[in-house]
Amino acid sequence: DHNVRMLRQYGEYYGVFSGSTPMLLVSDPDMLREILVKQFHNFSRRTDPNMNINTTPTGRMLLNLDGDEWKNVRTTLTPAFSSGKLKQMSAQLNRCADVFAETIGGFARSGKSFKARELTGGFTMDAIASTAFGTEIDSQRNPDDPFVTHGKEGFKFNFKDPVMFLFILFPRLFKP
């Protein structure tokens, strides 16, 4: 929501600070393709190394790595997203998309409003659960499913927490 407001106010390119680190945000598709594909060798470090406290699992996420570490993890992950593997996943993804379309259709027929973020989040959770973990959940219709509630807990951040505030401003304090 915040990024959409910033995009509307400042355009496709704007700068922000993450703690004390300046960041440039780009939303133009052609420029993103240039940065992430054609000029990747010049833009391989996308995060401030001081913001990575090298804890697992976040310290080993692809977005937090650079250089040889990034290359090694990327090489390991790439086979999982080959065209053959994606084709094997298509039936599962289509089932999730059918539920998504049916759910949106139900809202359209009833004239009721819905929260798009929650519905698309449910679709994403269903897709990840079925393709990565081989389990069928229906988080689009059942947001209280244990898989969903535990998944959401892993991504909860309280930015008003003084410890989180200190980490954003002084990440070096939290390095092991």
Instruction: Report, as ranges of residue numbers, the positions in the chain whose pLDDT lies below 70.
Output: 44-60, 159, 168, 171-176
Mean pLDDT score across all residues of the chain: 83
Six token digits for residue 140: 């689009």
**pLDDT tens profile 38-49:** 888 787 666 666
Six token digits for residue 28: 């133009």
pLDDT of residue 148: 84
pLDDT of residue 168: 67
pLDDT of residue 118: 85
- Tally: H helices and E strands in the chain: 7, 2
Give Cβ neighbours of residue 32 (< 8 Å, ≥ 6 apart): 26
Rounded to two decimals, the pTM is: 0.61
Q: To 5 degrees, how large is the angle CA 117–CA 120–CA 124?
A: 130
pLDDT of residue 26: 92
